[in-house]
Structure 1
């Protein structure tokens, strides 16, 4: 499944929706780094993504869902249903609690 948005667009969308400036992330990154992420010049590590999401007070999956589903609620619901099914399959096959 191709991303409808990009991670950079999703990051910027959530940051603005939360009323945060790029400077609000100064505890976890520089304004220059945030700008690079939002212009799709760099990609964050999973650890950095988690830190950025903490500042925005959203779960990293929220950011990724927006990146893949865009702003379509229907696409988001379909994507989340797919993730639920895949997690159930993995849990059954791998004896994951």
Structure 2
């Protein structure tokens, strides 16, 4: 699965869980831009990921982790978190 497609699925899922419409992201992010992201037609910047996550009420890493879980369906959340933890250790 392409990264844009995985991000689209993660965004749709977390938006649904947060009971948010595409209009709820304004004025930080337009409804049209959210729609483009959810159709995998755009890639968000780090700033947009942070703004979107804020509206969803989740940490930006949660949105990205969900994205990578979709991109790599064979990996479990615990494995992904262990890998991240190992990567960030001194």
Which band: TM-score by shorter chain? Answer: 0.7 to 0.9
Under a length normalisation based on structure 1, what TM-score does the superposition of the two structures give?
0.80
Under a length normalisation based on structure 2, what TM-score does the superposition of the two structures give?
0.86
Gaps of 5+ in 2: none
From the CA coordinates, give the structure whose radius of gyration is larger: 1
Q: Which runs of 4+ in 1 moved over 2 A?
A: none
1:86 paired residue number: 87
Gaps of 5+ in 1: 92-97
1:94 paired residue number: none
RMSD: 1.7
**Cα-to-partner distance string for 1:9-63 (whole Å, 9 max, x where unaligned):** 1011000111000000012111111100000000110011000000001011111
1:19 paired residue number: 19
Match of 2:28, SS? Answer: coil
**Cα separation, 2, equivalents of 1:33 and 1:27:** 11
2:64 paired residue number: 64
